[in-house]
Every structure is written in structure tokens, then in C-alpha cells.
């Protein structure tokens, strides 16, 4: 009973465990893959603005899988991220359609404009 109550506030313990496992896999990557994965993960945490723990864990797992495969194959980092790492990161994040913090504000802005228009008539 207590774990369910605690998870309501802290999030899923299983997701936290998976996330820590993914972090360990990132730390175990050879260079330059580890540094690249860490940099991308940091950017995605800010850019992605995900509010759903399951989506964040899935995205992190996919990121780790990508860089582990690149390391095994010896694929150069630039061959994966291209000339614009920001574009790569943002395109990568778009594949994960979880709820974002900004979604609520988008709805609020749209409603405020519609309400303002109604007041003009």
C-alpha cells in the first residue's frame, strides 16, 4: 500500500530503475560516443519538456541503443548527428509525442485569443 502512495508523488520506481540502468550504459560507452550521448541527453531534457516518465525512459533507452550500435559499428559521430546537432536532437525528440509542459500554455493562449476576439465583436 505505501509504495503505491509514494509512487503517486515520486513516479514509478520501475521507471527510475530503468533510467539508472540506461545512465550506466551511457557511462560505459567509449569516447566520443559517451560524451555525445551525454550532451544530447542534457539537451533533450531541456528541449523535450516531457512530463511523462514512461516517454522519457523510452527516449533515453532509444538514445542509448543508438550510441551503443554506433560504437560497435565504429560509425563516426558526425555521420549520425550531421552538421547541425541541434536539428538532429530536436528531430529525435519529435519522435516522442508525450505530453509537454508547454501544452497547457498553448491551449491557454489559444483560448485567450479566442476570448479576446469575441470581446471585439
pLDDT tens, residue by residue, 67-87: 999 999 999 999 999 999 999
Mean pLDDT of the chain: 86
pLDDT over 90 (residue 13): no
| Region 2-120: CATH code | 1.10.1900.10
Buried b (16+ CB within 10 A) or exposed e, 22-58: beebbeebeeebbebbbebbebbeebbebebbebbbb
Q: Which set of grid coordinates corresponds to residue 109?
A: 493562449
Which residues are 50's β-sheet partners?
Answer: 100
Average pLDDT over residues 11-22: 87
Q: What does the alpha-carbon distance between residue 76 and residue 99 come to, in Å, rounded to a whole number?
A: 33
Amino acid at each position: 500500500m505505501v509504495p503505491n502512495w509514494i509512487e503517486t508523488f515520486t513516479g514509478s520506481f520501475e521507471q527510475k530503475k530503468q533510467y539508472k540502468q540506461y545512465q550506466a550504459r551511457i557511462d560505459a560507452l567509449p569516447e566520443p560516443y559517451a560524451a555525445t550521448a551525454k550532451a544530447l541527453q542534457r539537451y533533450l531534457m531541456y528541449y523535450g519538456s516531457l512530463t511523462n516518465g514512461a516517454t522519457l525512459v523510452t527516449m533515453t533507452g532509444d538514445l542509448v541503443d543508438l550510441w551503443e550500435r554506433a560504437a560497435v559499428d565504429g560509425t563516426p559521430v558526425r555521420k549520425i548527428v550531421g552538421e547541425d546537432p541541434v536539428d538532429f536532437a530536436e528531430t529525435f525528440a519529435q519522435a516522442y509525442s508525450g505530453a509537454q509542459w508547454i501544452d497547457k500554455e498553448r491551449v491557454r493562449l489559444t483560448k485567450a485569443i479566442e476570448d479576446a476576439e469575441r470581446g471585439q465583436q
